[in-house]
Amino acid sequence: MYNQTVMTKFLNPRNAGTLRGANATGKAGNSSCGDVIKLYLLVDEEGIIDEAKFKAFGCPATIACSDIACDLVAGLQVDEALNVSSKEIFDELGGLDDNRVYCSVLAEDAIKLAVEDYYKKKAKENK
Ligand code: FES
């Protein structure tokens, strides 16, 4: 059902946990299955994502997608993170069953919400 890459990421997610000092968070949920991903970003003064971590409640694919999403956004400029798509997450994992494709969409949503949160906080700071 799950390929080896998904299982490895699920069993040993390197980016699981909270992130001390995180200055942006994005929480995405799927009301039909109940899966939830909370993504934490630590963005430096130049707008580069120094680190990303996640907490997730869900199936192995959701955990694996969250972990890959953190790998993909780390080192990017915040706005570049918006280019990380569910397709890229799906491809990095070597594919997912049809009924698990939504897990990669959930991870993309969490990234977008975290970036949005970053810009909201930045706008408040500049007021
Ligand atoms: Fe629902 Fe993964 S099974 S998002």
Q: pLDDT digit string (tens) for 5-21?
A: 999 999 999 999 999 99
Nearest CA to ligand 1 atom 2: 103
pLDDT bucket at 126, cuts 50 / 70 / 90: confident
Name the pTM for this structure: 0.96
The residue whose CA is least distant from atom 4 of ligand 1 is: 103
Please give the average per-residue pLDDT across 49-72, as a whole number.
98
- 110 C-beta closer than 6 A to ligand 1: no
Evaluated on CA atoms 61, 53, 90, 120, the torsion sign reads positive
